[in-house]
Each structure stands twice: as structure tokens, then as C-alpha cells.
């Protein structure tokens, strides 16, 4: 990018000697290099300023434009969303560069903005320089951040009635408690969550931290529902909710009290010692099994009739029943729990969720949920306590694979 001949250099010969001519020529060359370097830097600064200060405002549509274009097809929107910057020498139909003022960069170059479709329809000369600026990702990221903050604000408003009764943990505290979510701290996992063992507070209280999948679009609703239900439950056979953590970037966390005795599933079905020294079925005497059955029955009765609104757990199974060091059973994991208008009044659910083998027929086949959904699942757990078998065992002989059907045929 140079200057036009005769603009800055004086071609008239001065009336001096040859030594003076050589000195003058060197001086003019130095000036020419200086001006070239100076205006090159000026041009770069101008381009940078235009990109960052004016670029986005040229592409962000106003509300009226968005409304008027709401019926256009997605493919056309994607094509027009790609912004193009044309730096034209002389422009399209404008004055040529040779007629421009060499002292002004603005008059030497013409900038215009258009879409890819408009660019292809233009007839440009070979001197045009095309720079592509794709603002699609930037706008999407901005909108995504806005939506994320709106969800967080909506979530905060939803849990505000009970938030003050719980401990609010920071993400740094969650990170420290789980040793940066170490694999050795994993207690279990669900379809869209992980549970980690950790210690929090000055007294290093043992807790179980449930981390919801931050990529799940329904995580906020599931978090709010579980927090609202679990925070309202106070029973000796239900694991209490201690607190929560909401981080816009890292996701949602629920903090429960840690139960050290392991799950009923490990006691029933693990023949070898597991984590924490939990033995197999031989280490669970009948007196403890009776104690477990009685305690979980009391917890279910409390959920259905002992709260202001009937709560249906929807996922009662041995892995969601924990035993304390004194073998006191405690029901946990209210991720699928829901409220019903009244006990024994079913309502329809669009999506059937739960664990195969514990689903009531009316729920599995027709999506009907009521307190009987939990009663059926508890009946399967009772059969497991008595028989030591799992609800579904494919290796069993024909007709004995399903525990419920097999017990029904036996009697």
C-alpha cells in the first residue's frame, strides 16, 4: 500500500551540485519509507478499531427486524448470518484510487458490509479485497450466556422459600470436598448424575455430594424438584439434605448427609467384600432384614401420608436404601420423586422413569403414578430380602427369570 507518484516526492531538479542531488535523493527516500510505514500502521489501527468497536453493532438486529424476519427459512438465515467486509480499491462504481487524496486512508479505501448471498450477486473488479467475519458463533454464545443467567435467576426464585433453611456451598468448597472429583471418591452414578463422598466445614462433616449433568437441559427442573421435596422431609429413615451449590459454569450440586454402612444392594448381592468392607448376604442376619423392611415401610408411609403433600418416590430399590453403622435403613435419592394431589389418586406421566424390575404394571404400561407405584416397588424389595435374589436374572431357568412372576407361580 503505497502512494501515488508525484504526491509526496518533488520531481523538479534543484539548482545544486551532484553532491547535493545525492543527499536530496537519500532524504526523499527516507521520507518515503517513513510515510509508508506510518500509514501502514495507521491503516492497521483503523481496521482493528472498526472490527472491535463498530463490527458487532452492524450485525445485531433490532427487535422489529427479528419480528419481520420470523417467517424466513433457516437456511436463508444461516447464509445471511455470515457477515462480509469488503475493502475495495475505489469501491463499486465509486471514484478510482488514482483520483483519491493520497494523504487520506479513508478516501483511498471504501468499506461495505453484506451477506454471502449479496456478495455472490456483486460484480467486483479484481482489486477488491474480501474479508469474512462470521458472527454466528459469537451471537450464539452471547444468547447462550443470557439464557443460562435467566435459568439461574429463575432457579433461585423457585428455591427461595427453602434456600435459607439449607447450607449454600461454593463451588470451591465442593471441589475441595471431593478432591477435585476424584474417581476414588465416587459412591455411585445415575443416568444423569454422579455421587461423590466428601468432607465439608470446620468439623469435616462427611457428606454425599450429588453432581447433576450440566449438559442435561432438564437438570435445572430436576434439581429444583429434588431440592424442594428433599428439604421438606424430616424422618429418621430418610437421608437428610444438608445443602446445595449453584454455579453458572460448573453446574448444580446437592449435598446429603453421608451414610457409612453401604447400600442394601451390596449387603444382599455382593458375595465378596466391597468398598468400605461391606460383606455379602451372609453378613446380613434375619433380624437386620426385618429391621430394614420395617424402617423402609415407615419411610414410605411418611412420604405418602405424613407430609403436607403426598410424595411418590418412584425409584425404591435396594441401591437407594442405605444402612448406617448401626444397620438403620435410610431411603435416599429423590431424583425421580414427585408430588401428587392425594394418596391413591393416580395421574398420567408422559415419560416412564425408574428401574426395570421395580416398575408397577400400571406405571410401566400406562404411565399412571400414585402411591401404589412405591408400594409395588417395596414389595419387590421384600422379595429380595426374603429370597436373596435380584428381580431380573436372565441366567435362571425358563419361567424363573422374573422374581415377581416366579414367586406368584410358586404360591
Domain spanning 260-411, CATH class: mainly alpha
**Which residue would you say has higher pLDDT here, 66 or 366?**
366
Under 8 Å between Cβ of 370 and 311: no
Does 265 have pLDDT greater than 90? yes
**C-alpha cell belonging to residue 157:** 426464585
Average pLDDT over residues 357-369: 91
pLDDT at 271: 67
Q: Quick one: which of 182, 188, 184, 209 has its CA closest to 198?
A: 209
Categorize the per-residue pLDDT at 96 as very low, low, confident or very high, splitting at 50, 70 and 90. very low
pLDDT digits (tens, 9 = 90+) for 59-91: 444 444 544 445 454 455 544 454 444 544 444
pLDDT digits (tens, 9 = 90+) for 120-133: 666 655 555 565 55
Tell me how far the alpha carbon of residue 230 is from its chain's centroid. Answer: 23
CA distance 44 to 47: 5
Domain boundaries, the chain: 81-134, 141-258, 260-411
* Backbone φ and ψ of 332, nearest 5°: -135, 180
Does 3 have pLDDT greater than 70? no
**C-alpha cell belonging to residue 307:** 407430609
Domain spanning 141-258, CATH class: alpha beta
Average pLDDT over residues 32-47: 60
pLDDT digits (tens, 9 = 90+) for 131-166: 555 555 555 778 777 877 888 889 999 999 999 999
- The per-residue pLDDT of the chain, averaged, comes to 76
Element housing 83 (H / E)? strand 82-89
DSSP labels for 11-73? -SPPSS-HHHHHHHHHHHHHHHHHHHHHHHHHHHHHHHHIIIIIHHHHH---HHHHHHTTTS-
How many secondary structure helices (H) and strands (E) does the chain include? Answer: 14, 15
pLDDT digits (tens, 9 = 90+) for 219-251: 899 999 999 999 999 999 999 999 999 998 899
Q: Residues of the chain with pLDDT > 90: what percent?
A: 42
3-state secondary structure of 210: strand
Tell me if domain 141-258 and domain 260-411 are identical in fold: no
Query: Of residues 213, 315, 333, 371, which has the active-site annotation?
Result: 315
- The answer, as to whether pTM is greater than 0.85, is no
Q: Is 249 a catalytic residue?
A: no
Q: Kind of pairing, strands 241-247 and 186-189?
A: unpaired
pLDDT digits (tens, 9 = 90+) for 342-357: 877 888 888 888 899 9
Amino acid at each position: 500500500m503505497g502512494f501515488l507518484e508525484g504526491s509526496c516526492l518533488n520531481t523538479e531538479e534543484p539548482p545544486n551540485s551532484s553532491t547535493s542531488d545525492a543527499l536530496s535523493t537519500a532524504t526523499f527516500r527516507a521520507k518515503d519509507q517513513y510515510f509508508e510505514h506510518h500509514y501502514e500502521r495507521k491503516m492497521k489501527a483503523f481496521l482493528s478499531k472498526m472490527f472491535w468497536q463498530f463490527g458487532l453493532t452492524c450485525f445485531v438486529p433490532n427487535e422489529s427486524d427479528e419480528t419481520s424476519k420470523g417467517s424466513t427459512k433457516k437456511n436463508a438465515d444461516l447464509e445471511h448470518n455470515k457477515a462480509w467486509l469488503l475493502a475495495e480499491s475505489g469501491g463499486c462504481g465509486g471514484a478510482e484510487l488514482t483520483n483519491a487524496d493520497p494523504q487520506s486512508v479513508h478516501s483511498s479505501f471504501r468499506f461495505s458490509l453484506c451477506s454471502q448471498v449479496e456478495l455472490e450477486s456483486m460484480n467486483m473488479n479484481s482489486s477488491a479485497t474480501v474479508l469474512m467475519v462470521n458472527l454466528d458463533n459469537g451471537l450464539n454464545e452471547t444468547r447462550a450466556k443470557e439464557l443460562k443467567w435467566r435459568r439461574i435467576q429463575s432457579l433461585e426464585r423457585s428455591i427461595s422459600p427453602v434456600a435459607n433453611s439449607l447450607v449454600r456451598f461454593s463451588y470451591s468448597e465442593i471441589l475441595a470436598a471431593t478432591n477435585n472429583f476424584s474417581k476414588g471418591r465416587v459412591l455411585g452414578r445415575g443416568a444423569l448424575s454422579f455421587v461423590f463422598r466428601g468432607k465439608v466445614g470446620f468439623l469435616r462433616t462427611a457428606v454425599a455430594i450429588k453432581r447433576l449433568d450440566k449438559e442435561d437441559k432438564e437438570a435445572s427442573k430436576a434439581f429444583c424438584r429434588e431440592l424442594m421435596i428433599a428439604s421438606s422431609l424430616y424422618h429418621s429413615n430418610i437421608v437428610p439434605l444438608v445443602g446445595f451449590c449453584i454455579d453458572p459454569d460448573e453446574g448444580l450440586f446437592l449435598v446429603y448427609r453421608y451414610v457409612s454402612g453401604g447400600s442394601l444392594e451390596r449387603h444382599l448381592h455382593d458375595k465378596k467384600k466391597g468398598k468400605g468392607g461391606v460383606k455379602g448376604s451372609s453378613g446380613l442376619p434375619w433380624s437386620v432384614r426385618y429391621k430394614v423392611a420395617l424402617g423402609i415401610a415407615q419411610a414410605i408411609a411418611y412420604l405418602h401420608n405424613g407430609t403436607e403433600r403426598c410424595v411418590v418416590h418412584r425409584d425404591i430399590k435396594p441401591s437407594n436404601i442405605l444402612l448406617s453403622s448401626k444397620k438403620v435403613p435410610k431411603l435416599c435419592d429423590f431424583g425421580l420423586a414427585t408430588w401428587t394431589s392425594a394418596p391413591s389418586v393416580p395421574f398420567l406421566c408422559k415419560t416412564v422413569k425408574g428401574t426395570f424390575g421395580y416398575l408397577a404394571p400400571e406405571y410401566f404400561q400406562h404411565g399412571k403414578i400414585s402411591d401404589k407405584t412405591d408400594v409395588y416397588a417395596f414389595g419387590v424389595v421384600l422379595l429380595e430380602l426374603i429370597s436373596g435374589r435380584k428381580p431380573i436374572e436372565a441366567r435362571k431357568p425358563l419361567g424363573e427369570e422374573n422374581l415377581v412372576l416366579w414367586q406368584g407361580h410358586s404360591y
